[in-house]
Structure 1
Amino acid sequence: MSDHRHVRTERLLLDEPVAADAADLFALHADPASWRHLPTGVVTDPAAGAVMVEASRVRFTRDGLAYWSVRDAEGGPVVGRGGCSLPDEAVAADVTGRGWWNLYYRFDQRVLGRGYATEMGQAALAAAHDVEPARPVLAYLLEHNVASRRTAERLGLRLVWRGPDAGNPDPDAVRLVYLDRAPDDDLVRALDAEGMGPAHLV
């Protein structure tokens, strides 16, 4: 298994976050423009950047993979955060079928349209399949976030679930779940436990 703390793609530098990234990570997640599909998601606590740095450190050590800080120039600012990470609750529960990789991507509005999310996502999928290929990779999206949906589809993920977005202030919001493989029985049960039951599988 390779060390995935530092990965290079054609245009991107994907690195384990360090303390100096905290301000950029906070700014990225505090920008309302990056949350126009879920306005309640805007991060307001400046300490959140340091929390993200620490979360990635812990997960890289524990799981061999976590979210990266993304740059498009050596020594440049953080222009995105993303990758595959194993949710803490899945580890704590240690329940068969719950230990999926979560694929995440969020980029500075100034670099949108360059295909960075797809390029980073390809590296993330490759890393997840290297670290623990038996774990499926899931991406949770809002249906009206067309750009995010297109990224998931370009990555070859398939839509496996569509239904209400529990807890969303918008009662009409629809949640989509994309997966890198056909869901087996264990995963279907796990999705059901998360409020995404078999009746909504597509």
Structure 2
Amino acid sequence: MTRWSHVRTERLWLDEPVDADADALFAIHSDPASWRHFPSGRVTDPAAGATMVGASRRRFARDGLAYWSVRDADGGPVVGRGGCLRPDEALAGRGWWNLYYRFDQRVHGRGYAVEMGRAALEAAHDVAAERPVLAFLLEHNVASRRTAEKLGMRLVWRGPDDGNPDPDAVRLVFLDREPDDLFVEEVATEGWAPDLIVR
């Protein structure tokens, strides 16, 4: 198995976060423009950057993979956060990887999410290929949906976004493979309606 804490793609440096990344991670996640599709998700606690760093470090140590700090120059500033992480709620059974991407608004439109996402899928398949990779997004976030589709992921679930202050919000779940019976069983335990799974 490859060590995935530091990865180089064509244009990006993907690294396990360090303490010095905390302020940039908070700035990206507290920018209202980053949350126009889900305003209530905006991060407002300045301590959140350090929390993100610590969460990634713990999961790299536990699972061999987590969210990276993303740079587009060697030693340059952090321009995003993303990768595949095994959520704590996915520890039972086979579990899954959660694919995540969020970038500084100044680098949007460069295809960085897709480039980082390809590395994340490769890493997840190397570390634990039996775990499916899921991407959760809101239906009206067209750019995020296009990213998942460009990564070859397919829509497998569409339903209400429980807990969203917007009662009309629709949650989409994309998967890196055909949904199998175990996937159906596991998502049912998460409270998703199995009859909404697209096969």
Q: TM (normalized to structure 2)?
A: 0.98
Equivalents in 1 of 2:59, 2:88: separation in Å? 9
* Partner residue in 1 for 2:47: 47
* Partner residue in 2 for 1:111: 107
Q: Does 1:165 align with 2:161?
A: yes
Q: Does 1:139 align with 2:135?
A: yes
1:88 Cα offset (Å)? 1.2
Structure 2 SS opposite 1:192: helix
Structure 2 SS opposite 1:79: strand
1:32 Cα offset (Å)? 0.5
Equivalents in 1 of 2:179, 2:115: separation in Å? 25
8 Å contact from structure 1 (residues 188, 197) kept in 2: no
- 1:194 aligns with one of 187, 190, 193: 190
**38-47 vs 192-201, which moves further:** 192-201
1:128 Cα offset (Å)? 0.3
* Partner residue in 1 for 2:84: 84
Aligned letter for 1:120? M
Q: Does 1:152 align with 2:148?
A: yes
Aligned letter for 2:27? A
Equivalents in 1 of 2:4, 2:164: separation in Å? 34
- For the aligned residue pairs, the C-alpha RMSD in angstroms reads 0.7
1:195 Cα offset (Å)? 2.1
Q: For structure 2, which runs of at least 5 residues remain unmatched after alignment?
A: none
**Deviant stretches of 4+, over 4 Å:** none
Aligned letter for 2:157? W
Q: TM (normalized to structure 1)?
A: 0.96
Q: For structure 1, which runs of at least 5 residues remain unmatched after alignment?
A: none
Aligned-residue sequence identity (percent) comes to 75
